[in-house]
């Protein structure tokens, strides 16, 4: 067996190591266009900002170590330029000396990754404009930072964009972030990103949404970025974090099938349209595990596992890749935002029926010091209760809850299963009724009909005169600190004795702070014959929509 | 519907609140023997130690709040003394004034909890000896601490015992912990508790295993505890954390069926042998979710959910309790120990076939600062790979991994599913190959036969002359810092060129530091015809057995 692997980072390096473990005899050649293999690209923003102090920390392994330990033929600075599928030969160009050679294969694994998108706007090639994909990129950014940057513009508010902003802010650089969509962190639903925008603004970041850069030019004090709105931004550094496109040229030129956004199409065994060629990592099309549609989900975790699995299948294993869920996470200055599975947006786009709930729990028992708040949104099938997706934003414990739901989605669990999840509880770790259980209770109550809920955005979208009777069941103190316009205040503890103040001929939309008292009030009202529903997630969810 | 509930803490209070949400009309009376309802018993050790500063933080709710919000008839200081099942009447004694009354019921929910076990040894009733179940207990302990305690003895090294020790150490009290078993934290397997014992000893705690108190007497400087070994311990305070027994007297006297350790027997609907009487919480017998045998698992999480479900079923819902997994967690001075599902011990006792693996991962990417180590043990079915249990001990991230595996167990997932789990990865939260994936890889490799493993304790139990050839594949530096006696050192990177030094006529037991290089070395050796297996978890696991 002679196995060639194109790409030496996440997917490629995993494939190579796995292949060697499976076969001591195989000839395994790993081609990497750049000078480094297996570097930690997810660490680049933190090296740029200095939190990761040493550059060599980012080198998970080195070509020499791969050679010594795995007996691999590692060829860096080697760009695979073309594949002759008939002859089963690739043509390789040495990027240092330009020499071209060819190498035959029995099997080929493509792990070329994805490249940052650069928009074709005037001035895009000016010095001071960067993308961030590899160590050479971060070296350029760091030397620019060392030369002195007072103002920076980050274009794109996805994961890398936000991570860069966090690091720039920590360096004391006045930072603007520009995002084409009307929200940061587009994989999440917009309302869930409100806390991130609030946090960024509180840190002095200039957050500009619904805008894009139309041109960049040299100005007296660095670069001037022109937005579509006409607003000029001055910066000494512009970093593009707009997104990535699959490195598909090699595959396309070789006539391999591609799919969504040009990603290399593979079957469930990670085999391309040529059975001797496998592909893994950011460049491939995958099946969306929840929506069951083809998509592209460039993430380090899946890339590593795909690389490993591609090698397994090269050696005849027939392992099936189950698809990707898009489990993602980002940290922005003590705030964590994470998601798994489908979002409300993606469900709407796919025309899938769903219901949603919001809860606002503390990450551990409130009576133990240090409890941090989060908001958790759960999306599920309105009939079966099958979990479709979740998003959470807050402090500690967000990662844990999203990981728990990620496994629940993988296992096909329902909200009824979440009611009975038995998680580890001591007061410094969780709650006797964990946020996961609470989400299950609320969602199951909704499906069972115990707990009719309405969405705050639906209520607000109704013309004022046609809106349901808005009943705020919090305390007068909470009410006077801020309420949904038009609401009447009767605290839940007084509701039973003040039922006469609630109209019988009108729909009642009840709310409290987070949804729990509203739930009890809804139960009280419905049992007394009122047509009541609870505004899911209460006033805190309203604020997510209205801030 | 007239519903009586006996016990106003976790299970009882949950049942009462749920019952009211289900029915505004029902007459609901909640009897609690003590003065408080719904207090946070899991917080008691932290209030004793002062980390929870205010006593009223422990009062999750109050009788008045339950009355106002849930329209409940809450009767504290009310001990239900007997049940006349024929007449459907209970007899209640007011513990303050001694008055006896009776109350009829349509349905009854028993949530009496469990009481600390006190051994019948001489001197057990002396002043200065405490148990810890409720606020009155912790008040006594706190006033004793305030009076000045220099030496304390904690009897029993379970959850409460360890939490108390942590708090006593923080208060600067010289503390001894005495445990009858030969390990602390008996729900875990012994080797997994080595880091806890090491930590306690490093903090100056006197850890005495395999011993029990035989008598306590008054000494010049407080109390003298006599151990079976004859060793005397002097202390001004002795706290018993030996375990709990179900408060079953009421149920037994009423002729209700009981089971394991006298726990109240219920069916899957949480119904006792009397269909009008339900039971929930620490006093009931539950089905062990993994072993499928009856057991008693007194934990706050299950108690709360059972109380809620008992109320559901009283009102005709027919919800099934799926059993308890025993998901547990304890924090001891920056160390976290957690477990879910079956332990190796419990699997052996049940004569169930299993395999196990150990990994020693960091809680997040090693290249990002602050990664903390853990050891994770996974138990699974040797054929199907179904996950049977897991234990982890270490720093940050232990709770997350055990929670993820808890859900995997609930869902009946296998180690092959863990290979494909897609968890949230950014370098400050996890790894591209998360510890959960790694556990899946190692376990699946074992079942597939890629990765034959042997247990270090099995190797060590063989007489020295019959042991396999012990091959340490770490670097010479690691080897010289400590090795398994009798091992020969050939580092994995040199193994291919030094195969002639490895005997062909002998079984080879390979090991490295954590198992990963040993795995590669095992692959190399087997493919060259050697009869090799990897010592699972490597030298670090060996140390767990040998420290």
Q: Is B464's pLDDT higher than 90?
A: no
Contact check, Cβ <8 Å, B403/A426? no
What average pLDDT is seen over chain B? Answer: 96
B42 labelled catalytic: yes
pLDDT one-digit tens code per residue, B237-271: 999 999 999 999 999 999 999 999 999 999 999 99
Phi, psi angles (nearest 5°) of residue A352:
-95, 135
Mean pLDDT of B523-543: 97
Q: Is the dihedral of CA A41, A43, A49, A52 positive or negative?
A: negative
pLDDT in tens, A464-520: 889 999 999 999 999 999 999 999 999 999 999 999 999 999 999 999 999 999 999
Contacts of B478 (CB under 8 A, 6+ apart): B513, B539
Helices (H), ranges, A361-448: 398-410, 415-420, 435-448
Q: Is A22 on the interface with B (CB under 8 A)?
A: yes
CATH superfamily of B2-113+245-314: FAD/NAD(P)-binding domain (3.50.50.60)
> Cα separation of A439 and A378, whole Å?
7
Inform me whether the C-beta atom of residue A332 falls under 8 Å from chain B C-beta atoms: no
What is B334-448's CATH number?
3.50.50.60
Please indicate if any CB of chain B lies within 8 Å of the CB of A428. yes
Q: B129-242 and B453-546 share one CATH topology?
A: no
Using only the alpha carbons of chain B, give its radius of gyration. Answer: 26
Percent of chain B with pLDDT over 70: 100
Which residue in chain A has the smallest CA separation from B422? A327
From chain A, pick out residues whose CB is under 8 angstroms from the CB of B434: 301
Residue to substitute from A371, A423, A442, A527, interface B, most B β-carbons within 10 A? A423
Q: Which residues from B are below 8 Å from A434, CB to CB?
A: 301
Measured between CB atoms, does B1 come within 8 Å of chain A? no
* Chain B nearest CA to A434, separation (Å): 8
Architecture of the domain delimited by A2-115+245-314: 3-Layer(bba) Sandwich (3.50)
Instruction: Decide if B411 contacts A285 (C-beta within 8 A).
Output: no
CB A366 within 8 A of CB B59: no
Across the interface, do A520 and B329 touch by the CB < 8 Å criterion?
A: no
Cβ neighbours, 10 Å, residue B501: 11
Which of B362, B432, B435 is the best residue to mutate to test the A interface, defined by the most A CB atoms within 10 Å of its own CB? Answer: B432
Best probe of the A interface among B336, B427, B521, B530, by most A CBs < 10 A, is: B427
Per-residue pLDDT of A158-167, as tens digits, reads 999 999 999 9
Please tell me whether the overall predicted TM-score, pTM, comes out greater than 0.95 for this model. Answer: yes
Of A46, A71, A410, the CB nearest to B368: A46
Chain A residues inside the 8 Å CB shell of B430: 329, 399, 403
pLDDT digits (tens, 9 = 90+) for B400-438: 999 999 999 999 999 999 999 999 999 999 999 999 999
Q: Answer whether residue B541 shows pLDDT above 90.
A: yes
Judged by CB atoms closer than 8 Å, whether chains meet at B40 and A365 is answered as yes
Give buried/exposed letters for B289-306 (b at 16+ CB in 10 A, else e). bbbeeebbbbbbbbbbbb
pLDDT of B465 strictly over 90: no
Q: Region B450-478: what's the mean pLDDT?
A: 95
- Is B404 in Cβ contact with A403 (below 8 Å)? yes
Rounded to 5°, angle at Cα B320 from B316 and B326: 140
Domain chopping of chain B, boundaries: 2-113+245-314, 129-242, 334-448, 453-546
Q: For tokens 């008055």, what's the residue?
A: B99
Domain A453-546 has CATH 3.20.20.70: no
- The class of domain B129-242 in CATH terms is alpha beta
Q: Which long-range contacts (CB under 8 A, 24 or more apart) does A260-263 make?
A: A260/A285, A260/A294, A260/A295, A260/A296, A261/A296, A263/A296
Residue B265, both tokens: 């027997």
Strands B222-227 and B232-235: antiparallel
């Amino acid at each position: 067996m002679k196995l060639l692997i194109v790409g030496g980072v996440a997917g490629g390096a995993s494939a190579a190591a796995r292949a060697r473990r499976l076969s001591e005899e195989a000839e395994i050649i790993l081609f990497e266009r750049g000078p480094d293999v297996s570097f930690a690209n997810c660490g680049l923003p933190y090296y740029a900002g200095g939190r990761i102090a040493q550059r060599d920390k980012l080198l998970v392994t080195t070509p020499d170590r791969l050679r010594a330990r795995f007996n691999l033929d590692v060829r860096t600075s080697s760009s695979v330029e073309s594949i002759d599928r008939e002859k089963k030969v690739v043509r390789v160009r040495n990027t240092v000396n330009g020499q071209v050679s060819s190498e035959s294969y029995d099997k080929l694994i493509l792990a070329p990754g994805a490249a940052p998108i650069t928009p074709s706007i005037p001035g895009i090639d000016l010095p001071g404009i960067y993308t961030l994909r590899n160590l050479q990129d971060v070296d350029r950014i760091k030397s620019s930072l060392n030369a002195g940057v007072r103002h920076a513009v980050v274009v794109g508010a996805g994961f890398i964009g936000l991570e860069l902003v966090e690091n720039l802010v920590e360096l004391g650089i006045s930072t603007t972030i520009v995002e084409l969509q009307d929200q940061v962190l587009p994989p999440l639903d917009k309302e869930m990103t409100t806390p991130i925008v609030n946090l960024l603004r509180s840190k002095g970041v200039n957050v500009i949404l619904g805008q894009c850069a139309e041109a960049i030019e040299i100005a007296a004090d660095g670069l001037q970025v022109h937005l579509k709105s006409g607003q000029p931004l001055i910066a000494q550094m512009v970093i593009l974090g707009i997104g990535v496109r699959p490195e598909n040229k090699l595959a396309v030129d070789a006539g391999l099938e591609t799919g969504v956004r040009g990603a290399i199409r593979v079957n469930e065994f990670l085999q391309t349209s040529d059975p001797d060629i496998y592909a893994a990592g950011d460049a491939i099309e995958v099946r969306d595990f929840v929506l069951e549609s083809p998509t592209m989900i460039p993430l380090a975790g899946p890339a590593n596992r795909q690389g490993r699995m591609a090698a397994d299948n090269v050696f005849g294993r027939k392992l099936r890749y189950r698809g990707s869920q898009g489990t993602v996470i980002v940290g922005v200055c003590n705030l964590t935002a994470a998601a798994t599975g489908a979002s409300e947006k993606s469900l709407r786009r796919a025309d899938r029926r769903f219901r949603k709930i919001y809860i606002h729990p503390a990450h551990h028992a409130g009576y133990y010091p240090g409890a941090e708040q989060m908001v958790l949104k759960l999306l599920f099938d309105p009939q079966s209760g099958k979990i479709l997706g979740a998003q959470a934003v807050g402090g500690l414990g967000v990662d844990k809850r999203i990981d728990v739901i990620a496994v629940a989605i993988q296992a096909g669990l329902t909200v009824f299963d979440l009611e009975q999840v038995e998680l580890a509880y001591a007061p410094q770790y969780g709650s006797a009724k964990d946020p996961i259980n609470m989400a299950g209770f609320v969602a199951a109550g909704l499906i069972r009909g115990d707990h009719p809920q309405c969405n705050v955005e639906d209520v607000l979208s109704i013309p004022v005169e046609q809106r349901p009777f808005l009943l705020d069941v919090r305390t007068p103190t909470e009410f006077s600190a801020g309420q949904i316009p038009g609401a009447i205040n009767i605290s839940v503890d007084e509701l039973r004795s003040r039922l006469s103040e609630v109209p019988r001929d009108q729909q009642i939309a009840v709310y409290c702070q987070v949804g729990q008292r509203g739930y009890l009030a809804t139960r009280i009202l419905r049992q007394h014959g009122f047509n009541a529903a609870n505004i899911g997630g209460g006033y805190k969810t309203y604020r997510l929509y209205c801030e």
